[in-house]
A and B are shown apart, each in its own frame.
Chain A
């Protein structure tokens, strides 16, 4: 029986080979870690307004305003991106399928908009999949690890309530890092930094302007 369980767990061990090792926590502490890790994400339907400072490939920078209305229960998202002057560059919604109500320039591309929506989902809804472990990382951070079909996600608790999300692809390569920090307003963190590594990498710094629960 024990050997059968070990064989069944082997794929999981190999899949996690490139990820930081976790020293497992006790049962009681595990529940706390899971709860704490999910603190930055939406608990119910909400409308959010952020200023977004983007550092794009090549180092150019641009600042915009983003408005999102999201329902974590259904996964429905509507998002609007506009210039500081108020010109709407993107109005899109996702509810099982993508609809672009308005897209100007590169933001008319469904592929690009879907990429944006994936980032927004990550920021608002948190990790896909189920928890597969919780405990302590070698650097001392408490962590909860999630496993989904296409990769793993770590939620790491840092100092002063900061939570860091690290998204790994199927080969355990880091594909996104998201850092949630600052005071919470209506449960949402004041500051979010999303980084996509690589040659075409980019960084988005989001500062919360408004957070309002939707009825």
Chain B
């Protein structure tokens, strides 16, 4: 049975969500795949709410993301922890801003992330079935449900649900279910597609 490290799971999910943000639209896989080919860049803001039994109310985070085809990405949390994940030119870097200083994340997850980068190009073409970790299902109402293929992954993530916007190319929300009482909802807004983004966004802070 395939085993997943914590870092690997986080990376896979992060990239999967980001790529889904870029390609999720339409009512059929063919439609999704066709539309995916037209995207050159995406920028959006997001709010993330973590629901857990231990919390009386969800823990809210907010941030923004930038994507430039074929494989440059900036996934940035503005609060409560200010962090930036950068993927550019085949390298992955993560920074956390704290007070006046910047901490470079040197955990193992960044190495794993480079491996997963290969999958991005597949997802960018809407090839969800090419992802070895999840089985995709397109449900009525523009909802994509991703279910883990392997038991070891299912013990970490029960399923992921994506709700697509009426606007082509725009995803409304992503919900990640870890258990019945623990799940994360990410809502996207202010989405802008195919606008030229400066390369400096992906090179550093």
Q: Do A and B bind each other?
A: yes
Docked complex Cα distance between A14 and B13 (Å): 56
Could you say which residues of chain B place their CB within 8 Å of the CB of A102? 178-179, 182
| In the assembled complex, B191 has its CB within 8 A of some CB on chain A | no
Docked complex Cα distance between A49 and B105 (Å): 21
The answer to whether B56 touches A212 (Cβ under 8 A) is yes
The answer to whether B54 touches A47 (Cβ under 8 A) is yes
The answer to whether B59 touches A53 (Cβ under 8 A) is no
The answer to whether B10 touches A87 (Cβ under 8 A) is yes
| In the assembled complex, B115 has its CB within 8 A of some CB on chain A | no
Could you say which residues of chain A place their CB within 8 Å of the CB of B52? 67, 80, 88, 91
Could you say which residues of chain B place their CB within 8 Å of the CB of A62? 105, 107
Could you say which residues of chain B place their CB within 8 Å of the CB of A69? 54
Which of A62, A107, A207, A212 has its CB near the most chain B CB atoms (within 10 A)?
A62
Within 8 A of B (CB), among A76-99: 78, 80, 82-89, 91
Q: Name the CB-closest residue of B to A65.
A: B81
Could you say which residues of chain B place their CB within 8 Å of the CB of A212? 56
Could you say which residues of chain B place their CB within 8 Å of the CB of A53? 96, 98, 103
Could you say which residues of chain B place their CB within 8 Å of the CB of A63? 81, 83, 96, 103, 105
The answer to whether B56 touches A60 (Cβ under 8 A) is no
The total of chain B residues at the interface (CB under 8 A) is 32
Q: Closest approach, in angstroms, between the C-beta of A175 and any C-beta of chain B? A: 25
The total of chain A residues at the interface (CB under 8 A) is 32
In-complex Cβ contact of B80 among A51, A60, A85 (8 A): A51
| In the assembled complex, B36 has its CB within 8 A of some CB on chain A | no
| In the assembled complex, A61 has its CB within 8 A of some CB on chain B | yes
The answer to whether B103 touches A86 (Cβ under 8 A) is no
Which of A82, A85, A209 has its CB near the most chain B CB atoms (within 10 A)?
A85
Which of A47, A83, A87, A91 has its CB near the most chain B CB atoms (within 10 A)?
A87
Could you say which residues of chain A place their CB within 8 Å of the CB of B55? 47, 67
The answer to whether B105 touches A82 (Cβ under 8 A) is no
| In the assembled complex, B50 has its CB within 8 A of some CB on chain A | yes
| In the assembled complex, B61 has its CB within 8 A of some CB on chain A | yes
Could you say which residues of chain B place their CB within 8 Å of the CB of A105? 5-6
Contacts A87-B13, A88-B178 given; indicate if A207 touches B98 (C-beta within 8 A). yes
Could you say which residues of chain A place their CB within 8 Å of the CB of B13? 85, 87
Which of A59, A61, A107 has its CB near the most chain B CB atoms (within 10 A)?
A61
| In the assembled complex, B121 has its CB within 8 A of some CB on chain A | no
Within 8 A of A (CB), among B173-205: 176, 178-179, 182, 184
Could you say which residues of chain A place their CB within 8 Å of the CB of B96? 53, 63
Binding site for A on B (CB under 8 A): 5-6, 9-10, 13-14, 48, 50, 52, 54-56, 59, 61, 77, 80-81, 83, 96, 98, 103-108, 156, 176, 178-179, 182, 184
Q: Which 7 A-B pairs have the closest CB atoms?
A: A86-B184, A105-B6, A62-B107, A86-B50, A60-B106, A63-B96, A51-B81
